[in-house]
Amino acid sequence: MEYQVSSQPPWGQVHVLNYTANRVGSQEDSRNLKDTYSKLGYDVSIYEDLTEEQTISKFKDILDQSNLHDIPSITVFILGHGSNAYEFVTADGKRMNLENLRNQFSNERCPQLKGKPKIFMANFCREPINDSLTESDGDGTLEDLVNIHASAVGQRALRSRAIGTYFVSSLCHVLQNMTKPTDLRELYYQVVIEIKKRQERAQVTMWEDWSFRKFIVQKD
């Protein structure tokens, strides 16, 4: 069973939160994602170097949109330094829990997006889980949500000065070369192959989802 899509673009919103400090080449990710998803027919917003408070405020803005119920899909990119398997660092050096951000999109907290695809793309190094991981507030039912990680637990998310992160550059390459609307899972497998082409010792990506159905990525 697949998600119903709009008959015309925009196919959804793409929100890119890019924390660029001490990440040479990371601005290429913002440019690449903006260009790629805009050409596909998505509404794209780029936010760079937000503090913890600004990040929280930005998610509130996303979820408080008056037309949220009418948005076909939501894709969120988190690009930055990791401090743990599910934590990243904001521009002011604070640690944020990715799970807490995802939980804001639960059916109870965000009924406007119930039954609609919610896609998280997390590109940060992932240290093994340990006691320093902050507690996740897990209230609510997560459904129709997928989290694609650029690296598995315990691995680095590598990047290049010239092309940005290997995950984002590979994803954009695959999307730019789509010849027809394609299921997100199939695109994910293609990204895995593309990363292996670009690295001698490729990072291992990770897919985790909560009752996520077939989602066809459209072309304008």
**Which CATH number covers residue 149?**
3.40.50.1460
Helix axes 27-40, 166-176, angle to 10 degrees: 20
- How far out from the chain centre does Cα 93 lie? 21
Asked whether the beta carbons of 98 and 120 are under 8 A apart, the reply is: yes
pLDDT score at 139: 64
Domain containing residue 120: 13-217
Whole-angstrom distance, CA of residue 152 vs CA of residue 159: 15
Task: Identify whether 1 is part of a domain.
Answer: no
pLDDT score at 138: 61
User: Under DSSP, is residue 82 helix (H, G, I), strand (E, B) or coil?
Assistant: strand
Task: Identify whether 44 is part of a domain.
Answer: yes
Query: What 8-state DSSP symbol labels residue 160?
Result: E
Task: Identify whether 51 is part of a domain.
Answer: yes
Task: Identify whether 64 is part of a domain.
Answer: yes
User: How many other C-beta atoms are found inside a 10 Å radius of the C-beta of residue 111?
Assistant: 11
Give me the number of domains the chain comprises.
Answer: 1
pLDDT score at 133: 45
Task: Identify whether 208 is part of a domain.
Answer: yes
Encode the chain (220 residues) as per-residue pLDDT tens digits: 899 888 899 999 999 999 998 899 899 999 999 999 999 999 999 999 999 999 999 999 999 999 999 999 999 999 999 988 999 999 999 999 999 999 999 999 999 999 999 999 999 999 875 544 445 566 689 999 999 999 999 899 999 899 999 999 999 999 999 999 999 999 999 999 999 998 877 789 999 999 999 999 998 7
